[in-house]
Every structure is written in C-alpha cells, then in structure tokens.
Structure 1
C-alpha cells in the first residue's frame, strides 16, 4: 500500500519518502524488490484477475477483456527496451515518442456506483522493438493465459483497429475490432463439392464495407454505450476477414446514426457469430475504458514515473503500479464505497459536480482509511512499541483495513 500512500513522485525511493517509511524500510530492500526478488508479473497479474472475476463479476458470466498498447516516455541511452515508436496519447499531430511501449490487457467490469464500464488492468507485456514479437502477438499470449486461467468462462476480447490477426484467434475467446475501410472481405467457406482438388476456404468477395452499406438491409437498434442508451442503425453480414483471421467465421457490423441514408459511420468485425448487432456495438464501446485506465494510471497514480533502467525493474514497476490501481478499485467497490463519499468534496469544491466517484476519490478515501488505521494502531500498541514500528506493521497487514473502514 506504500504506492497509494505517497502523494509525492512515484519513484521507488519517492514512495518511501511520501509514505513516511524512509526511516523504517531501507531503500535498498525496496529497490531489490523490483530488481532481484523472485516474483513473476504474470503470476501476480493472474492472482489479481481471479480476485476481480470472483468479486466483481456474476458467477458464470462472460469476461470482457480490453487490449491496447501505451507509451511510457523515457529518456537515456541505457533504458531497457526504450525505442522511438508511435504514441497515440501525444497531443498534436506528432504522434511519436521515445520510451517503453507496453501492451495492456484489462478486465472490463460494471461497478454498482458508476454508469460507465471500468477497465481493471491485469496482464502486461513489454514490446522489445522491431523484428521481435509484435504487439498483436503479445496480446494473443495474454489472451491465452486468461483462457487457461478461466476455462469455464467465455472471454470476449475488444481492441482498436491495430489489433487484428491470427494470433488473436484463441480457442474459447472471441475478438471484436474496428474494420479498416480497405479490408478485403469474403463470403463464408462454401460447402464441399465432388470436384477434385483442395476445397475452397473462402467464398467470393461481396465488396468493400462502403459497397455493402449501400446494398445491405439496415435495422434500428437500441444499444447501451458510454453510460447512456442510444438509437442507431446497424447492418450485419456473415463473412470472413481472410487476410487477418484466415478462415475463422466472423461477422461484419456496420453502424450509422439514425436518419442517414448513405455510407456508414463505423465498421466492426467480430468472431462472435451468436451475439446480436446491439451487443457487438455495446461491447466495442467498452474498449474505451482501457484508454481511461491507462490515463488514470499515468496521471493520478503516477505509474511509469520510476526512473529505473535495467531489465528487471523496467519490466516490473509499471505492471506493479497498474495492479495497485486495480486493487484500489477492488477495495473501494467491495468494502470502501459509501453513497456520501462525494458530499464533502462537492461542498468544499462547488465546481466539482461529479455524482460518481472517480479513481482520485477512491484513492483519497483509501489514504484516509489508512491514516485512521495507523492512528488506531499506534494508540493500541503505544505502551509496548515505538510509533515507527506501528506504521511498518500497518503496511504489512493491509487485511486489517476492513476493521478500520467499518
């Protein structure tokens, strides 16, 4: 919990100083935790994923997973796996930056106190540069880990237009992504004939998405997305995106605003052949939650501020920070939330008109709870222990927070 306690810069030693632990815990041991201690990011991430699924999803419900990559800007010639690469979050037309590019997979949940879905990051991969494993292949590895961890659940994966390809065709998982305007679509695999030779794997080409928008039949659909209900027009077509997903059966879903008579606004491709058009559109809209999660981790929690350079710390600090973000949200959603949490802030800050807790509010309440617990613990052991030890024990035993938050 030291990561969430410190309001200062989230470097390894900065967290110790901000949390008041610099005199209790050696900064050498804190640095060794990331550089030398024996623990695996995937095992820790899967443990957190099981916590999220058990506590925040209904029993047996499908798991929606959002995948995306984001750049953590870093400087210095000796930073492990730092490259010049695309930075989608960069302001202005120059979408280029130098740093560590990471692929993030998060579980999308609907919390009881929010109207929009929330993405909780659980698995991570560090891109090693050109001519190595691509971000799409890294995303496929994480999806395979999740399907192995949750064999009794269907996993629905959503990603932006960059995430398409056969590595994402994972058993017991579906993939939904945005379709480029020049995608080559084909009719489904035709039935076998009595002719000699290899059977055909794809049918004829029905045309581009623009051509199909002019010929397919449109239906009016109501869909829940971005926290409210919209009325849209949708057209669907069973097809193959052979260049990306080979002969995996799929569907094209075209979307446009009501009243439009030409073209389309959004084209989606999904390997889920049983869901309705409204479900596919709503599922793809949930993808935006991972963009919010990445921005929250960077701006509010300070993920990526650690100034390490060698391989192990670079590979571990960012995932650890994101997992702290997920754990804080889980704590707040299960035992920390109260309907009056925003009353004090709305009264003190009249310009803050949000009616739903943001991650900043969750973090602030966790800090207050930890502070109250430390005071209670100090009073309880004051006759026997120095105060500095009480702070150390409060961090070692976070399970006692349940009693302090009640």
Structure 2
C-alpha cells in the first residue's frame, strides 16, 4: 500500500514514539481506520489498510498488546503539534476534560465495570464497559465557525479503590503543563471534576468547573485578629446558591458560547469552596439567561482571578466540543469496536483511536481543506441547504478518498490511465456507501 505524502507528513510527527517496525504498522493502521467503512476491529483496520493478504493478522494485534510504544508519549507529541500549528504564539492553551463509557462485555476483558453512562436508559443511567477520562485541546480553525476539541490524552478509570477520574484528569494536565512550561493553561470540566489537588497545580494553570447545587460556600479567609488561638481558615457561610443569587447585583452582558452570541445576566464574587478546594481562593460566577425566571441557570467556580466573568462563562461554553468528539469517535471512526481483552491492548486501543481523530483534523487543516468541499457535499446531498462549514465526517471522507487514490495510483508522477481512474472511482463510491 502506498500512503499519501500529505498524510505521511502529519504522521512524521509521531515517528519518535515508535520503532521502525511499529511505526510502519502504526501508519497503516491509521490509514486502515480511516479507509475502513465497516467495523473498526483490529482485523477490520488491517483490511481497511489493504494489507490483510500481505501481513499476518497477528502483526496488527501485537501492535496493541506487545509492541513497545507509549500512548501517553504519542498524545504529548500530538499536543505539541496542535499547539505549534493551530494556536497563536504564546496564546493560552484551553484544555477540556471529560469522561465517556464505551460498552464492552466479557468476563476476560480487562478493566470492565459498571459505571455511570450519560446516554444510558433508566433512572440510574448505568452501563457496563470501560470508562475513559479524556483531555482535549480546544482550537479555532479558520474554516469553522465553532471551536473544535482535539483529544491528546486518555486514561482508563479502574473504579473505586484506584485513582479517581479527577486524579486521572489532573495527571494529564500536569503532563501537558510540563510540556509547555511558562505557558498559561486554562482547564475546564463539568461538575464531576473537583478535588483538593487542584490547589497543587503548577503556576499558570487555572481550573474552571460547574458548581453542584449543594455546594457549601463561605467568604474569603478573614484577616488575622492578633488574638491568641488558631486563626480562622474561612469566612462566614454564604448560604445556598439561590440565596446568593437573589442577593447579588446582576449586570447584562453579551457572551459567545455554544456557537451562539447571546445576552445573559451575570454576577460574581470571591469566596472559598472549603469542602472541595480547602482554603484555595476561588471565584463564583453565576449566569442567568435573558428570559429565565430562575434565580440562576449556571454556577461556575474558577481559580482564575485574572480573566473577566464574561470570559469564564464563554470558557465553560467551549467545553461542549469534547462531547462532539465522543459522538464522532464512535460514529465516524468506530473507536471502541476493537475486541481487545488483555491489559496492554485495552489501555492502548482507545487512545490510538483518539490519536487518529486528532491526526485527521491536523491533516485536513494543513492539506485537506478546500473551499469547494462544501459545494461538493451539497451537490451530493442537496438537503443540506444551510451547510457552510465542513463537519468531521467531511474530513474523514476526504482523507479516505485521498488514501484510496494513493493506493490505486502507484506512480503519481505519471498520468493515470483509464483503468486506474475507473478503479479509483469505484473505490470512492464504495467508500461513500
């Protein structure tokens, strides 16, 4: 199989993470995951790469279960590429953390357990499988109107008695902070992510999360009185959030979040969330929609004391792209369909799929985007009357066509003949089906 030169330029970023043999396997499995239109099992990726008759299938399985490569190192290489190519110099790096459940069954599958499943049915919303905590960098691309999240790290949560999901997320944040010393990192996550370890984050790293309704807040640490005895660690209790919201002074402002520009009411104050962050000073930001009748619609807590309250509300709104990542990685890439069971294979296969997600966007931003892509998509599917920007599915489809073309046209310098052109057209049609 001949891989397209443009894809190889992007894959070259990851070469130091592999040996010569495993790098060749990695490149073909990346192409196989993109080119495959059926199930993305390990052998499915091998078939999609077009080497199922050339390689023993054990080579693909051994890449995940035995080969010497580290998914964390792979993610850090991609993170550096994302920051250096898609972010302005010295711009803050916005990190989003969240977790998702990938369903698995089987007594011999490593690490499976019952866990919360946001898309699950029933009151308990439980599912059986692997819970993956992911960290993504949010960027804005010139040809898109909404920000996109590019996953650069993932850790498997092993359940109670092991590192919590927040601890796993903070470990990934620490690794990225060490990768970009002196650069500001803004971390955001939903209400499940809060821990006293946030106070130990490196300098220049801020943390913003949604506040649970039952959070007990207090005033800032009062000054020392000079009297004998231990000084107070926290101020007077502020009461429930509804009471804080009713007593607050609100102002009307404009924020951009969830791809929309809208008017909202906003208020803020300094406080302590002693139950979660101990005596770490934080800011409470309350947001209320323009036409809302509730005391507040969104409560945020942040360790960022420099950004405005408007920026914090917008920053939390940029958390949503990671939910799109979870949807696309399942639907467009088939991440989680591999049936690996052993320890090393399980802990590598999903991070591999998330790395492919980031590689696709990097490739499309550097080599794949063309203004005519939207016109072509609307010509093929005219019901998209309002489509003006490419979706992740468009990026996957274009890279798939590029891989197929490189596979059938072995000599790019020569003019392809009728048979080669017909073979490419047939392959494109099969890939689009």
Under a length normalisation based on structure 2, what TM-score does the superposition of the two structures give?
A: 0.85
Contact preservation (8 Å) 1:232, 1:255:
yes
CA distance in 1, matches of 2:353, 2:409: 28
Contact preservation (8 Å) 2:32, 2:50:
no
Match of 2:183 in 1: 153
Q: CA RMSD in A?
A: 1.7
Match of 2:240 in 1: 208
110, 126, 134: which one pairs with 2:156? 126
1:359 aligned onto 2:406: no
Match of 2:57 in 1: 27
1:374 aligned onto 2:407: yes
CA distance in 2, matches of 1:137, 1:193: 37
1:183 aligned onto 2:187: no
CA distance in 1, matches of 2:407, 2:245: 62
Q: How does 1:2-401 map to 2 (within 5 A)?
A: 2-91=32-121, 93-169=123-199, 170-171=201-202, 172-260=204-292, 263-353=295-385, 354-378=387-411
CA distance in 1, matches of 2:313, 2:412: 55
Q: Is the partner of 2:373 in helix, strand or coil?
A: coil
Given the superposition, is the C-alpha separation of residues 259 and 343 from structure 1 closer, same or farther in structure 2, using an over 3 Å criterion?
closer
Contact preservation (8 Å) 1:136, 1:168:
no
| 310-319 or 93-102, which deviates more | 93-102
Contact preservation (8 Å) 1:70, 1:103:
yes
Contact preservation (8 Å) 2:264, 2:288:
yes
Measured after TM superposition, the shift of residue 93 of structure 1 is 4.1
Segments of 5+ residues of structure 1 without an aligned counterpart are 388-406
Contact preservation (8 Å) 1:255, 1:266:
yes
Q: Could you list the per-position Cα deviations for residues 61-118 of structure 1 after superposition, in whole angstroms to 9, with x for gaps in the alignment? A: 1111110111010010011010011111225545111001110000011111111111
Q: Could you list the per-position Cα deviations for residues 317-364 of structure 1 after superposition, in whole angstroms to 9, with x for gaps in the alignment? A: 000000000010011112211111021221121122322111110011
Q: Is the partner of 1:342 in helix, strand or coil?
A: helix
Given the superposition, is the C-alpha separation of residues 273 and 381 from structure 1 closer, same or farther in structure 2, using an over 3 Å criterion?
same
Q: Is the partner of 2:242 in helix, strand or coil?
A: helix
Under a length normalisation based on structure 1, what TM-score does the superposition of the two structures give?
A: 0.91
Given the superposition, is the C-alpha separation of residues 92 and 109 from structure 1 closer, same or farther in structure 2, using an over 3 Å criterion?
farther
CA distance in 2, matches of 1:78, 1:132: 20
CA distance in 1, matches of 2:145, 2:169: 28
Match of 2:27 in 1: none
Q: Is the partner of 2:390 in helix, strand or coil?
A: coil
CA distance in 1, matches of 2:413, 2:43: 29
CA distance in 2, matches of 1:376, 1:189: 70
Aligned pair count reads: 383
Measured after TM superposition, the shift of residue 370 of structure 1 is 1.8
Q: Could you list the per-position Cα deviations for residues 361-395 of structure 1 after superposition, in whole angstroms to 9, with x for gaps in the alignment? A: 0011111122223334346699xxxx9xxxxxxxx
Measured after TM superposition, the shift of residue 261 of structure 1 is 6.3
